[in-house]
């Protein structure tokens, strides 16, 4: 019988869907060529290619490390999730132990394992940690935080400290958000409506906000033995 995975709430927030990793290499439509990286799903490796400077698809990364973070660490090396190797793709949900939350993925239609659900709610019902949290005692931080299921919710004013929020619709497009835990801009799927202000059209727009403007916030470093946020779990930066 399937044993629910235990979440690691000290991990980063939700990462982008790894379905982009199954897109083919696409050089785009221009002639201003630069070296980029794409994930070759047939060989399960990140490889370099010449990108023309415009067009193409989302299976394109500035560095090998970024490519491997999105396409290897979340999909292939996640011990609680094994991608099915068929080709009748449909979206499903799995519990990602790396982020302590349910995430979408492309299911091939056969094989795989029990860590696969039709809806996010069904995933949370099985794998989600339902323990209540307590408020951390903040000193010197202009933020107040609490834990809600597996999402970190911040009551702060700066948009870049807000968690990733895909919104409430299903018209998905790729956007960018500032990941406060990793202190870098990352891609995610935006549903098309709702969400919060931590959402940018391009990586450049996200990165244009200088890091020194993110000083009023918080970062979680660990949990206590009961899985609740302890008073020293918050570090100002």
The Cα 145–Cα 9 span in angstroms is 14
Q: What is the pLDDT along the chain (237 residues), one digit of tens a residue?
A: 233 333 332 233 333 445 677 788 999 989 889 999 998 877 878 999 999 999 888 889 999 988 888 777 544 444 334 444 566 778 888 877 666 677 888 777 776 677 788 888 787 777 765 332 322 332 322 222 222 223 333 322 345 667 888 888 888 888 888 877 777 788 888 888 988 888 888 888 887 764 433 323 333 323 332 233 333 333 322
101: left (phi over 0), alpha (psi -120 to 50) or beta: beta
18-127 and 144-235 share one fold? yes
The Cα 178–Cα 186 span in angstroms is 6
Superfamily per CATH, domain 144-235: Pancreatic trypsin inhibitor Kunitz domain (4.10.410.10)
What are the backbone angles phi and psi of residue 206, rounded to the nearest 5°? -65, -45
List the CATH code of the domain at 18-127.
Answer: 4.10.410.10
Question: pTM for the full model?
Answer: 0.31
Give 212's contacts (C-beta < 8 A, 6+ positions apart): none
Q: Domain boundaries in the chain?
A: 18-127, 144-235
Taking the alpha carbons at both ends of the chain, their separation in whole angstroms is 44
């Amino acid at each position: 019988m399937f044993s629910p995975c235990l979440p690691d709430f000290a991990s980063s927030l939700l990462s982008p869907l790894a379905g982009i990793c199954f897109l083919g290499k696409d050089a785009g439509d221009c002639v201003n060529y630069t070296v980029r990286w794409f994930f070759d799903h047939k060989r399960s490796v990140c490889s370099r290619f010449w990108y023309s400077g415009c067009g193409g698809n989302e299976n394109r990364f500035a560095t090998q490390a970024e490519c491997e973070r999105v396409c290897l660490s979340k999909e292939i090396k996640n011990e609680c999730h094994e991608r099915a190797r068929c080709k009748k793709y449909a979206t499903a949900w799995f519990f990602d132990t790396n982020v302590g939350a349910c995430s979408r993925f492309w299911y091939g239609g056969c094989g795989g394992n029990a860590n696969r659900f039709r809806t996010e709610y069904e995933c949370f019902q099985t794998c989600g940690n339902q323990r209540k949290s307590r408020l951390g005692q903040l000193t010197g931080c202009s933020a107040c935080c609490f834990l809600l299921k597996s999402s970190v919710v911040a009551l702060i004013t700066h948009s870049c400290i807000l968690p990733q929020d895909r919104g409430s619709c299903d018209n998905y497009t790729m956007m960018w958000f500032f990941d406060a835990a990793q202190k870098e801009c990352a891609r995610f799927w935006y549903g098309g409506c709702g969400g919060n202000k931590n959402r940018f059209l391009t990586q450049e727009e996200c990165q244009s906000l200088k890091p020194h403007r993110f000083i009023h916030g918080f970062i979680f470093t660990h949990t206590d033995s009961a899985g609740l946020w302890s008073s020293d779990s918050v570090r100002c930066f």
